[in-house]
Chains A and B, each alone.
Chain A
């Protein structure tokens, strides 16, 4: 029996911690971005790229995207295991979302790399 198939962590408690830790990281990122848009009257190409050219902002953004990857992966697993009872269909949807999340993470990495 492989009960943990499809989850992100190796166990329920591990998923529990990962879900909350990633939530806190993303919460901080959202608060920061709200602050940025609130304090920047006119968002131009110059100050937009200026923001993401900082090393700390690249790290912060990739950290938040890692949060999205982990949180999204575990979150969709929780939703799917509750509502999609056919294991084949569930595995397929989980596959699509998991691959999509990795694509989002990698896209973020390469975009940040080039700014």
Chain B
């Protein structure tokens, strides 16, 4: 690899002083390869940028809702099957665990929807700069958290 790169540089320089430069390059390259590079594996000091957080939250919430479809379609079918079925779903939804699961699904929906709207707006060419992208990602996450709290208040 070093030989190939050096060869390219020879071709680029193609002059008498170049010989000196080539040998300098060769030494420099070797020292770069051997040099200890800064490594940061302290995970507490590494943070995703806001846009990456928004992106991963969008994906995670999407998969959560996809899995929860099994429960949702059951609740939909049962609640419309007759008065007994409706009463059954209604009584299940009074338990804490069912409410908590429902809250989780609606929270996932809120995150997915709000971050999704940001994606649609970005498709139109807005918020593509570093500052506006960061601000809109942070805003979408903050709004989603507020919606999640409101959903909790509504459920309990």
Contact = CB atoms under 8 A, between A and B. Distances in A.
A97 B67 CA distance: 9
Contacts of A81: none
Given A52-B80, A107-B77, A108-B76, A23 B116 contact: yes
Given A30-B109, A79-B62, A104-B73, A48 B80 contact: yes
Main secondary structure on A side of the interface with B: helix
Main secondary structure on B side of the interface with A: helix
A20 interface: yes
A68 B65 CA distance: 10
Interface string A90-115: 00000001001100100110010011
A20 B120 contact: yes
Interface string A1-43: 0000000000000000000100110010010000000000000
A72 B120 contact: no
B89 to A, nearest CB: 10
A100 B69 contact: yes
A49 interface: yes
Chain A interface size band reads 20 to 34
A111 B77 contact: yes
The 9 A-B residue pairs with the shortest CB-CB distance in the complex, in nearest-first order: A45-B86, A111-B77, A104-B73, A45-B83, A75-B62, A72-B66, A107-B73, A104-B69, A115-B80
18 contacts: A24-B120, A30-B113, A45-B83, A45-B86, A45-B87, A48-B79, A49-B80, A72-B66, A72-B69, A75-B62, A76-B66, A79-B59, A79-B62, A79-B63, A100-B70, A104-B73, A108-B73, A111-B80
Interface of A: 20, 23-24, 27, 30, 45, 48-49, 52, 68, 72, 75-76, 79, 97, 100-101, 104, 107-108, 111, 114-115
